[in-house]
Amino acid sequence: MNTDIATAEVGIRSGRQASSNSPLERFAPRDQEETSLLRHRIRDLAVAKKAVILAHNYQMGEVQDVADFTGDSLGLALEAQKTDANRIVFCGVRFMAESAKVLNPDKQVLLPNLSAGCSLADSITPESLGDWKERYPDHTVVTYINSSVEVKAMSDVCCTSANAVSVIRSIPNDKILFTPDRNLGRWVARQVPEKEIAIYDGCCPTHDVVRGSSVERVRRAHPDAVVIAHPECREDVLALADEICSTSAMIDRIAKYPDVHTFIVATEWGIVHQMQKRYPDREFVLADGCIGCRLHCPYMKMIDLEMILASLENEVHEITIDPDDMAGARRALERMLAVPRD
Ligand code: 13P
């Protein structure tokens, strides 16, 4: 699997000639010397421009390795909130960069590739949320951070996979409208049975395609493995998991099992880069048994070193937020950040 992931990592390069139809081997690899040169130029420019580089755990390994901080959505939002850098280069998807801008209106926030969207965030629009709010007028709206600024501005509070349960427990109202991820919503609802939770019907296609039967097949091949899953997975997958948590917690939880060699990972394959770095003596197997094919988020693989360098050099692509949405989105995000985690 290490070889396959390495192949995948060199497979996606901006502006290079497509060399294969495989989603993971589309572009010719770059040589080591060129990679090292790019890394140095990025790090020098980040210092000169007082920029912090933040990367999500699903980004390509080369992007994670050049970043100042790699983490889950909550960790990245907290870093963005506390940084004293002048600018933030956000290596993730658009909603993450927008959240950083909302929390830092006076800083320059750059997203190296503006096409890096999110299917889950696209599954809820201001109009569809408006319809759901009309159907549930007495409910407090809790919106997953994987959503647009407009949708956040219409919500009472945001949450991430790391704090969704704590956020919902902190709300005095017993009636909650949870948007947009139905799998995360159902998982949270099972843990907070005292609340009446209406759940929107969006999902992350990368997680939602994995089935329990695939995980069972992988587990038959690795009977002693521990299964670690992200709560955006379906219920039948979560029912087989030993640990269910945010991406950073998925990495941390491996330390809980010093005697376990193999871990079955039910989330986007980019996370394995950090897992292998932190625990080089362990084996990580993707839950669908199909490396990088189904558990692959195309949006999370849209940034590479060339784009980060161009982003720093040319100060592109700068995130701006409509002033009408700014105050509401900021209120929802700041309420989330004020909730202590259980
Ligand atoms: P985390 O906040 O757990 O990193 O999840 C982000 C995400 O987009 C999962 O698909």
User: What was the pLDDT predicted at 155?
Assistant: 98
Indicate the domain borders of the chain.
Answer: 3-117+299-314, 120-204+322-337, 207-296
Amino acid identity for residue 275 in this structure: M
User: What was the pLDDT predicted at 289?
Assistant: 80
155 Cα–ligand 1 center, Å: 19
Q: Do domains 3-117+299-314 and 207-296 have the same CATH topology?
A: yes
Radius of gyration of the chain (CA): 20
Closest alpha carbon to 187 in 131, 246, 138, 145: 246
Task: Band the pLDDT of 192: cuts 50, 70, 90.
Answer: very high
User: What was the pLDDT predicted at 18?
Assistant: 38
Distance, C-alpha 296 to centroid of its chain? 12
| CB atoms closer than 10 angstroms to residue 134 | 8
Asked if pLDDT for residue 24 goes beyond 90, the answer is no
Task: Please work out whether the CB of residue 208 comes within 6 Å of at least one atom of ligand 1.
Answer: no
Q: How many CA atoms lie within 13 A of 214 on its CB side?
A: 21
161 Cα–ligand 1 center, Å: 7
Task: Band the pLDDT of 271: cuts 50, 70, 90.
Answer: very high
Task: State the greatest distance between any 2 C-alpha atoms of the chain, in Å, as a whole number.
Answer: 60
- The mean pLDDT of the chain is 92
246 Cα–ligand 1 center, Å: 6
Residue with tokens 């048994």: 289
- Residue 207: asked if its preceding bond is cis (omega within 30°), the reply is no
- Determine the angle formed by the axes of helices 94-103 and 73-82, rounding to 10 degrees: 30
Q: Which atom of ligand 1 is nearest to the CA of 146?
A: 8
Task: Please work out whether the CB of residue 158 comes within 6 Å of at least one atom of ligand 1.
Answer: no
Instruction: State which CATH number among 1.20.120.530, 2.60.40.10, 1.10.600.10, 3.40.50.10800 fits the domain covering 207-296.
Output: 3.40.50.10800
118 Cα–ligand 1 center, Å: 11
262 Cα–ligand 1 center, Å: 22
Task: Please work out whether the CB of residue 99 comes within 6 Å of at least one atom of ligand 1.
Answer: no
11 Cα–ligand 1 center, Å: 23
Structure tokens at 203: 């999902």
Q: Which atom of ligand 1 is nearest to the CA of 72?
A: 4
Q: Give the tens place of pLDDT for each residue, 278-316.
A: 999 999 999 988 755 679 999 999 999 999 999 999 999
Q: Give the tens place of pLDDT for each residue, 110-123.
A: 999 999 999 999 99
3-state secondary structure of 44: helix
Distance, C-alpha 326 to centroid of its chain? 22
- Residue 180: asked if its preceding bond is cis (omega within 30°), the reply is yes
Q: Which atom of ligand 1 is nearest to the CA of 250?
A: 3
Q: What percent of the chain has pLDDT over 90?
A: 88
Instruction: State which CATH number among 3.90.1170.50, 3.30.200.20, 3.40.50.10800, 3.40.50.670 fits the domain covering 120-204+322-337.
Output: 3.40.50.10800
Q: How far apart are the C-alpha atoms of 79 and 49, rounded to whole Å?
A: 18
CB 227 within 8 A of CB 250: no
Task: Please work out whether the CB of residue 274 comes within 6 Å of at least one atom of ligand 1.
Answer: no
Q: Is the dihedral of CA 203, 209, 213, 218 positive or negative?
A: negative
Q: Which atom of ligand 1 is nearest to the CA of 206?
A: 10
The neighbouring-strand residues paired with 108 are 87
Task: Please work out whether the CB of residue 146 comes within 6 Å of at least one atom of ligand 1.
Answer: yes
19 Cα–ligand 1 center, Å: 30
User: What was the pLDDT predicted at 28?
Assistant: 57
Task: Please work out whether the CB of residue 113 comes within 6 Å of at least one atom of ligand 1.
Answer: no
Domain 3-117+299-314 -> CATH class:
alpha beta
Q: How many CA atoms lie within 13 A of 16 on its CB side?
A: 19
Task: Please work out whether the CB of residue 204 comes within 6 Å of at least one atom of ligand 1.
Answer: yes
Asked if pLDDT for residue 22 goes beyond 50, the answer is no
Q: Give the tens place of pLDDT for each residue, 205-247.
A: 999 999 999 999 999 999 999 999 999 999 999 999 999 999 9
**What strand order describes the sheet that includes 51-56?**
69-71, 51-56, 87-91, 108-110
Helix or strand holding residue 70 (H, E):
strand 69-71
